[in-house]
């Protein structure tokens, strides 16, 4: 694979100052998370257990809760649509836009519509779709995908955004003042908001007992997008369900600290019924989630509330950047979600980890991410064509290590090589270890030999 994580990551790592900058910027979220949780939530671990249990229960009864949600939403005057694939989702959204004869659509932040590739689908059909989250608008202008599920433009420096806005919005050259740039984006987006005929949002939570879609933002853009255009469409994955209003507080309290180290987001919006004279639609999307639910090993991953805490703590993500995962949802959680979608395309991702386990310990809903990475590794070798040389090596190792003579055989093979071969024979392109590291020193005797000589 030429576009696998190792290759893309190595390319990113070639620019070390940028890697250091990205590492620091992303780790800052983790640092702020620790600070805000320590200062405000002594009951954090209990909250995690409770949130995980609620999600567990919800997933076990997802069929019932989906029907309850649909019934409530209908009672509220909302039209509910079901999409089993990304294609169906896009078709439904497009048909609603067509019916409204709309040409301009505004959309607040949504990873689901990224997953379904809604923007290119609509653009190919002549619809102008504008992302209204500042980070998403920036990457949309650059024709890039988001590099991080919560901070889509975290990979860009403010100077780069200044250059972009200078070109796209006519801001002053070399003015990289964040407030100045944000005001320019705000003005630009206002014009889009007031002229759009349809507003689309994602959804952080679906509340079964009330039929509400809950969206959190820091910019208020979801609200403008729902309040100004006559038609609002909420596109949400079915796993975002929680049973009751009274469960919502727990999740809202955990989301913002986990994501960016904020105590709470600026806006927590509850969309329940269409505005006077308007329409409200909810598109419930499966797109592979039912398959994941059917997998005993991997269903736990559907508890994810897309907070990005696992991205922010991940030593791999911070140093290789979001694009090295060659998928919409990367990072540790993406590495266990994506192989379910396409095991061949994403067979590298579960290996893009040192299995350090920090992801599982920061996860607010206790997804055992590192265990699932390990399990995916087993499944990938069983189900895909793995590298032959690796397979042969592992077969050799498994035979050698299962016998009494195994270690002495390996010792006899390795020690003389490391001891007497000239440097160029040891350090060459075949030796991945030796690319940036020295081989371990070869001692006079192994422990085995020492023990025989001194103790037995």
Partner 1 sequence: MRVGLFIPCYVNLFYPNVGIATLELLEKYGCQVEYPQGQTCCGQPIANSGYESKAKDTYLHFVNTFQKYDYIVAPSGSCTYHVKKHYDIIDQDEKVKRVRSQTYDLTDFLLEIVKVDIADASFPHKVSLHQSCHGLRGLRTASGSERLVTPYNKWEELLSNVKGLQLVQTAIKDECCGFGGTFSIEEPELSVKMGKDKIKDSINSEAEYITSGDMSCLMHLDGVIRRNQYPIKVIHIAEILNSRI
- 194, 397, 417, 421: which one binds partner 1 (CB under 8 A): 397
264 contacts partner 1 (rule: CB under 8 A): no
Stretch that binds partner 1, among 35-43, 63-71, 239-247, 261-269 (CB under 8 A): 35-43
Instruction: Give 228 or 337: the residue with its C-beta nearer to partner 1.
Output: 337
Distance between CA atoms of residues 231 and 201, nearest Å: 11
Single out the residue of 98, 103, 403, 428 in contact with partner 1 (rule: CB under 8 A): 403
In whole angstroms, what is the distance from residue 110 CA to residue 133 CA? 9
Instruction: Note whether 296 binds partner 1 by CB under 8 A.
Output: no
Among 2, 179, 404, 420, binds partner 1 (CB under 8 A): 404
Q: Is 294 in the site for partner 1 (CB under 8 A)?
A: no
Q: Nearest-5° angle of CA 364, CA 366, CA 370?
A: 120
Place of tokens 């081989």: 439
DSSP summary character for residue 171? P
Among 102, 142, 252, 400, binds partner 1 (CB under 8 A): 400
Tell me whether residue 88 or residue 445 sits nearer to partner 1 (CB atom).
Answer: 445
Residue number, 264 or 400, with CB nearest to partner 1: 400
Stretch that binds partner 1, among 19-27, 65-73, 166-174, 216-224 (CB under 8 A): 19-27
Q: Which is nearer to partner 1, 216 or 316 (CB)?
A: 316
Binding marks (x or -) toward partner 1, 358..377, rule CB under 8 A? x-xxx-------x---x--x
Residue 174 or 404 having the CB closest to partner 1? 404
Structure tokens at 364: 């607010």
Give dist(CA 441, CA 162) in Å, integer.
51
End-to-end CA distance of the chain: 51
- Per rule CB under 8 A, is residue 419 in the interface with partner 1? no
Q: Which is nearer to partner 1, 425 or 451 (CB)?
A: 451
**Is there binding between residue 443 and partner 1 (CB under 8 A)?**
yes
Separation of alpha carbons 305 and 292, rounded Å: 15
Q: What H or E segment, with its residue span, contains residue 346?
A: none
- Select from 405, 420, 422, 423 the one that contacts partner 1 (CB under 8 A): 405
Q: Which of 30, 37, 43, 51 is nearest to 303 (CA)?
A: 51
Please give the Cα distance from 303 to 205 (Å, whole number).
12
Residue of the chain from 41, 100, 252, 426 that contacts partner 1 (CB under 8 A): 41
Tell the residue number behind the tokens 């998370």, with chain if given: 33
List the interface residues with partner 1, window 305-324 (CB under 8 A). Answer: 313, 315-316, 319-320
User: DSSP label at 90?
Assistant: H
Q: Which two tokens stand for residue 391?
A: 């397979």
If binding is defined by CB under 8 A, does position 23 make contact with partner 1? yes
DSSP H/E element including 240: none
Tell me which of 17, 385, 422, 455 binds partner 1, using CB under 8 A.
Answer: 455
CB of 400 to partner 1, least distance (A): 7
Q: Are 296 and 100 in contact (CB under 8 A)?
A: no
Residues 6+ apart with CB under 8 A from 269: 214, 215, 216, 217, 222, 223, 226
Region near partner 1 per CB under 8 A, out of 7-15, 136-144, 168-176, 270-278 = 7-15
Q: Nearest approach, Cβ of 13 to partner 1 (angstroms)?
A: 5
Contact by Cβ (8 Å): 227, 270: no
State the nearest-atom distance from the C-beta of 344 to partner 1, in Å.
15
């Amino acid at each position: 694979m030429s576009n696998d994580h190792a290759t893309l990551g190595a390319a990113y790592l070639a620019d070390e100052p940028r890697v250091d900058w990205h590492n620091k910027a992303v780790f800052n979220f983790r640092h702020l998370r620790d600070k805000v949780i320590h200062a405000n939530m002594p009951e954090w671990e209990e909250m995690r257990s409770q949130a995980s249990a609620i999600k567990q229960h919800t997933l076990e009864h997802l069929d019932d809760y989906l029907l309850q949600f649909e019934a409530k939403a209908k009672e509220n005057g909302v039209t509910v649509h079901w999409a089993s694939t990304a294609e169906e989702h896009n078709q439904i959204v497009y048909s609603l836009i067509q019916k409204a004869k709309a040409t301009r659509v505004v959309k607040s932040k949504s990873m689901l519509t990224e997953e379904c590739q809604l923007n290119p689908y609509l653009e190919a059909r002549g619809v102008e779709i504008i992302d209204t989250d500042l980070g998403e608008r920036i990457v949309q202008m650059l024709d890039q995908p988001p590099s991080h599920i919560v901070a889509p433009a975290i990979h860009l420096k403010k100077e780069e955004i200044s250059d972009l806005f200078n070109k796209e919005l006519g801001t002053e050259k070399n003015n990289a003042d964040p407030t100045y740039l944000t005001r320019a984006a705000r003005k630009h987006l206002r014009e889009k908001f007031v002229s759009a005929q349809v507003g689309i949002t994602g959804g952080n939570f679906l509340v079964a007992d009330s039929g509400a879609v809950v969206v959190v933002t820091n910019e208020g853009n979801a609200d403008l997008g729902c309040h100004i255009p006559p038609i609002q469409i909420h596109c949400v994955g079915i796993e975002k369900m929680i049973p009751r209003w009274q469960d919502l507080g727990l999740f809202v309290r955990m989301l913002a600290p986990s994501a960016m180290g904020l105590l709470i987001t600026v806006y927590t919006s509850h969309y329940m019924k269409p505005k006077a004279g308007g329409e409200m639609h909810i598109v419930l999307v499966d797109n592979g989630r039912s398959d994941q639910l059917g997998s005993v090993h991997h269903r736990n991953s559907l508890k994810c509330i897309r907070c990005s805490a696992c991205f922010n703590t991940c030593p791999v993500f911070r140093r290789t950047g979001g694009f090295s995962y060659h998928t919409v949802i990367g990072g540790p959680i993406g590495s266990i979600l994506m192989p379910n979608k396409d095991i061949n395309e994403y067979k590298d991702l579960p290996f893009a980890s040192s299995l350090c386990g920090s992801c599982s310990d920061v996860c607010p809903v206790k997804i055992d991410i590192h265990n699932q990475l390990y399990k995916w590794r087993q499944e990938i070798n069983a189900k895909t064509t793995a590298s032959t040389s690796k397979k042969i090596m592992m077969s050799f190792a498994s035979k050698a290590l299962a016998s009494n003579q195994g270690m002495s055989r390996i010792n006899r093979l390795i020690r003389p090589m490391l001891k007497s071969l000239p440097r160029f024979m040891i350090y060459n392109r075949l030796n991945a270890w030796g690319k940036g590291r020295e081989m371990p020193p070869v001692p006079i005797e192994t422990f085995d030999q020492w023990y025989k000589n001194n103790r037995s």
